[in-house]
Amino acid sequence: MRDLIITENITLDGVIDAAEGWFAPSGEEDVDESDIIAALAEHRAAADAFLVGRVTFEQMRGFWPHNTDDETGVSDYLNEVSKYVVSSTLEDPEWDNSTILRGPLLDDIQALKSAPGKEIVVTGSLQLVPALIDAGVVDEYRLFVYPVVLGRGQRLFEDATSVGKLELVETRQFTSGITLMRYRPA
């Protein structure tokens, strides 16, 4: 059975909504992120499926396929990986290797997890992620914690009552001040 991994950029106070533009906590463009880029490459190598909600998918589709100067490998990965978008309204994904999942959600997730392959990664997807958490189908949380406190915005575990105890399986600090924290259900 394949693992379903939620990977999120998150503030210290648990916000995953990026509307406030907090992704550069140092405020500097020239921060060395080579260690984060290497960690993301490790994560990409372990996954062959990318699951997102429609809004996140459309945002990514508008950017990554056209990003020809990406030196991180993210653009190439996203263009090649099998993408699964949860949507009842999207007609044509307009991005190679994309499949629209129309539900029921848990049936689609069970089918993905039961299929042969590597990890399934979910990111962004502010409506999908809470539904996956509530359904109890998440095998791991990979949280890139930014040293920022917003005090407002959608939080990862805002209404999650079914998560319970989590086991910390890795922490890794990066030169930028961002910390990776990986948790699995205990």
| Tens-digit pLDDT profile for residues 118-139 | 999 999 999 999 999 999 999 9
Average of per-residue pLDDT across 25-38: 73
CA–CA distance, 90 with 102 (Å, rounded to integer)? 9
Reported in sequence order, the residue ranges of the chain that DSSP labels E, i.e. its strands, are 4-11, 47-53, 82-86, 98-101, 119-123, 140-146, 166-173, 179-185
Domain boundaries along the sequence of the chain: 4-22+29-185
Contact in structure between 179 and 172 (CB atoms under 8 Å): yes
CATH architecture of 4-22+29-185: 3-Layer(aba) Sandwich (3.40)
Contact in structure between 2 and 49 (CB atoms under 8 Å): yes
What's the pTM value of the predicted model, to 2 decimals?
A: 0.92
Contact in structure between 83 and 93 (CB atoms under 8 Å): yes
At residue 25, the pLDDT reads 43
Rounded mean pLDDT of the chain?
91
